[in-house]
Amino acid sequence: MLKNICVTQLNLLRRAPSLQQQVRTTFVLKRKYEPLLHKTNEKPRRMRAKHFIYELVEDTLVKKRPNMEVVLKTFVEGVGDKGDIVSMKPNFVYNKLLLPGLATYKTPESIAKYSKTEAEKSAVQHSSAYAQRTVNMLGSIVLAVVMNKDEPWVLEPWHIKASLRKAGFHCKEECIRLPKERIEGPDLKKENKEFCCTITINKLEQATLRCRIHHWSTDPSERLPYVLEHWKLPAEPLLNVGQPETESTQKNA
């Protein structure tokens, strides 16, 4: 019985496949001390220990690989539109473009296959590769619109423009569409209440921007207490309407 067990274990060991993984690593070296030359038809001199000291010239494992050129099959946010030839880092191209099937290798056949037709060129859906990214960013923030607590005011597009500039966005007043209903103050009942306005980008894409009124006074004793991370707190709607109606024209952002 023991003999059969031992034979079975040996057979299992013999059938176990060996794991082999190819490693593409190349090191370019050079001798620190060059060996002396020998005369023709004579036996070469014996090299000493110092002749086996090498210096590293290049390590191909950490060498920066050149960018890859691919042809996009469809619109990719932040990259380009269908038929565009883009040159990007190999890791991004493999993981984000080639594997999901959004692009293919650059060849004359692929360029001709995925080039835009006249109908596709006339039906513009995206003004640029980064416009949709801007729309997503504007839709994900809550803009603090700081208004005067002491002087009367009426909300205008330049108030939104100034608040956007403080948040890191540059926008023209003509691209900002305010609600049709008039918003005026100061009115502490409107403090931290939310309303929406529309931002037009390149006369094409539109982003809905959430805004909240915050009153501020030049007198430190009259200022309202600061609320930490107020954009994370729930807020009541300022207006009764859902989406705002426009009152200004649209131009390029």
Q: Which two tokens stand for residue 6?
A: 């031992």
pLDDT class of 15 with cuts at 50, 70, 90: low
pLDDT at 71 over 70: yes
Q: Tell me the per-residue pLDDT of 79-108, one tens digit each, with 9 for 90 and over.
A: 888 888 999 999 999 999 999 999 999 999
Q: Given this chain, do its domains 68-122 and 131-249 carry the same CATH topology?
A: no
**Least confident range of 21-30, 163-172, 241-250:** 241-250
Q: Kindly report whether the peptide bond that precedes residue 186 is cis, defined as omega within 30 degrees of 0.
A: yes
Q: Where exactly are the structural domains of the chain?
A: 68-122, 131-249
Contact 201, 134 (CB under 8 A): yes
- Give residue 202's region: left, alpha or beta (phi > 0; psi -120 to 50): left
Decide: helix, strand or coil at residue 220: helix
Q: Which residues is 80 bridged to in the sheet? A: 76
Q: Which two tokens stand for residue 25?
A: 């690593």
Q: Which two tokens stand for residue 142?
A: 């809550």
Q: What is the CA radius of gyration of the chain?
A: 34
- Give domain 68-122's CATH number out of 3.40.50.300, 3.40.470.10, 3.40.50.720, 3.40.5.10: 3.40.5.10
Q: Tell me the per-residue pLDDT of 1-14, one tens digit each, with 9 for 90 and over.
A: 445 544 455 454 45
Third-level CATH fold of 131-249: Ribosomal Protein L9; domain 2 (3.10.430)
Query: Cα 63 to the chain's mean position, in Å?
Result: 25
Q: What pTM does this model have?
A: 0.61
Question: How crowded is residue 34: how many other Cβ atoms within 10 Å of its Cβ?
Answer: 8
The type of residue at 8 is T
Q: Please state, in angstroms and rounded to a whole number, the distance separating the CA atoms of residues 128 and 81.
A: 8
